[in-house]
Amino acid sequence: MITLSQVTTVLGWASLLNIGYLLLATGMVYLMRNFIKSVHRSMFDLTDAKLSEAYFDFLANFKIITVAFFIVPYLSLKVMGY
């Protein structure tokens, strides 16, 4: 049987992993923008403006999903005392 404290622990670690990945992806896009764009331009037929928009959309959606599905449930369970 899975307890709420185990779910809280899993959500806490999943939150940390997702935040770490979000920081890594943001850093890569910010610091290695030209290299990443050249790789994606060779794979897909997109302009620089479309690639920048796609990167922004990806990071924004990933942040929303991380907050909604990992951080908020974790904080809710912590506040309830689990």
Q: Tell me the per-residue pLDDT of 52-62, one tens digit each, with 9 for 90 and over.
A: 999 999 999 99
Please calculate the CA angle 63-17-31 and round it to the nearest 5 degrees.
65
Would you state the pLDDT for residue 55?
97
Span 11-57, pLDDT tens digits: 999 999 999 999 999 999 999 999 999 999 999 999 999 999 999 99
Would you state the pLDDT for residue 51?
95
Comparing C-alpha atoms, which of 20, 16, 12, 30 is closest to residue 73?
12
Contact 25, 61 (CB under 8 A): no
Residue identified by tokens 């049987």 is 1
Tokens of 70: 């990992």
Grade residue 80 by pLDDT with cuts at 50, 70 and 90. Answer: very high
Which pTM was predicted? 0.88
